[in-house]
Amino acid sequence: MIRAARRYAPFALAGLHAVTQYRSTIVLSAITAAAATALQVFLWREVYVGGSAPAGLPFVHLTSYIVLAQILGLLHTNRIDELIAGEVYRGDIAVSLVRPVNYALSCLAVNLPTAAVSAVLAGVPVLAGFSLFASLPVPTAANLALFAVAVLLSVALAFQINFLVGLAAFVTTNTWGIRTIKNALVAFLAGQVIPLALFPADVVTLLRLLPFQGLIDSPLRLLLGGYGDWADAGRILAVQAGWVVLLTGVMSLAWRRSLRKVEVLGG
């Protein structure tokens, strides 16, 4: 374990080093997150004022949900799909493949600290800013603990989904289109655009079986107390964890298949 950490830590440091070179990106993502959050908060306020509050998400939690969904979104925006697609397109994948490391883990090591740093640096000011304007309810200690576990699983899921999308580059070389569709679709299915609780009951049941809800919906339900009893909370985590395990298997299969397709001609 320590050996693994020592071997992959340099990738993480290299990733962080790169972030510090592009500080303006963090400032811009903070501004974007703040603007998007403000827009959504005002929009949903109008919806709630106009009619009766939809079931499943009390109004007091709505602002918290929107703010935190944005911050989680930042934590999930790893560039792994872009990274893999770029390496395949330029042929630099050849260099990555002659290193004695697991490719997926090295991608994770490069991107994870980067995502965490940008989530904290952009997220904390946004959260602080909104808590000044709106009274955000303070979560219970138990919910906070459940949330912490769910966030870790959500980060794993975000990495896995992006890794798999990146592997598409081995087949299509150019993945810009796929990545754009993925970004829109994942944000929608995760509950980042519209809280899943506001969908019709049948649709919610279905969406909550998919891996994408594990990104935003699961952690925030646990944090905001949107679950029944302890067994229900356990089920939410189990679905997330189940997908992490399943996708790990899929990744390993897909990676092996992708390697067969490596064609780096010239150079």
Partner 1 sequence: MIVAEHVSKHFKRHRREPGLRGSLRTMFSSQYDLVRAVDDVSFEVPAGVKIAYIGANGAGKSTTIKLLTGIMRPTTGQVRVDGLDPHRRRVEVAHRIGVVFGQRSQLWWDLPVLDSFRVLRHIYEVPRAVYDRNMRLFRDRLDLGALGNTPVRQLSLGQRMRAEIAASLLHDPAVLFLDEPTIGLDLVLKQAVRDLINHVNAELGTTVMLTSHDIGDITGICDQALVVDRGAIVHQGTMRELLRSVDTRAVTFEYAAGSVTEAEALQIIAAELPDVRAIPAESGRIRVEYPVERWSARQVIAVLLNRFDLTDVLVPDADLETLLRRIYAGSPAEPVSVGDGA
Contacting residues toward partner 1, per CB under 8 A: 3, 6-7, 9-11, 13-14, 17-18, 21, 91-95, 97-102, 259-260, 262-267
Q: Are 26 and 122 in contact (CB under 8 A)?
A: yes
**Closer Cβ to partner 1, 105 or 184, answer by number:** 105
Distance between CA atoms of residues 49 and 241, nearest Å: 37
Taking the complex as a whole, the smallest distance from the CB of residue 22 to partner 1 amounts, in Å, to: 9
Taking the complex as a whole, the smallest distance from the CB of residue 98 to partner 1 amounts, in Å, to: 5
Distance between CA atoms of residues 144 and 191, nearest Å: 20
**Closer Cβ to partner 1, 92 or 152, answer by number:** 92
**Closer Cβ to partner 1, 4 or 31, answer by number:** 4
Q: What is the largest CA-CA distance in the chain?
A: 64
**Closer Cβ to partner 1, 11 or 44, answer by number:** 11
Taking the complex as a whole, the smallest distance from the CB of residue 12 to partner 1 amounts, in Å, to: 10
Taking the complex as a whole, the smallest distance from the CB of residue 116 to partner 1 amounts, in Å, to: 18
Question: Looking at the chain, how many residues does it have?
Answer: 267
Taking the complex as a whole, the smallest distance from the CB of residue 117 to partner 1 amounts, in Å, to: 15
DSSP state of 77: -
**Closer Cβ to partner 1, 63 or 258, answer by number:** 258
* H helix runs in the chain, sequence order: 2-21, 23-50, 59-76, 80-90, 93-97, 103-133, 141-167, 169-172, 176-190, 201-207, 217-223, 230-260
DSSP state of 41: H
Taking the complex as a whole, the smallest distance from the CB of residue 240 to partner 1 amounts, in Å, to: 30
> Cα dist. 51→48, 66, 147, 161, 187 in Å?
6, 19, 30, 37, 26
**Closer Cβ to partner 1, 6 or 201, answer by number:** 6
Looking at residue 36, its amino acid is A
Taking the complex as a whole, the smallest distance from the CB of residue 80 to partner 1 amounts, in Å, to: 17
Tokens matching residue 183: 């970004």
**Closer Cβ to partner 1, 11 or 159, answer by number:** 11
Distance of CA 52 to the CA centre of its chain: 31
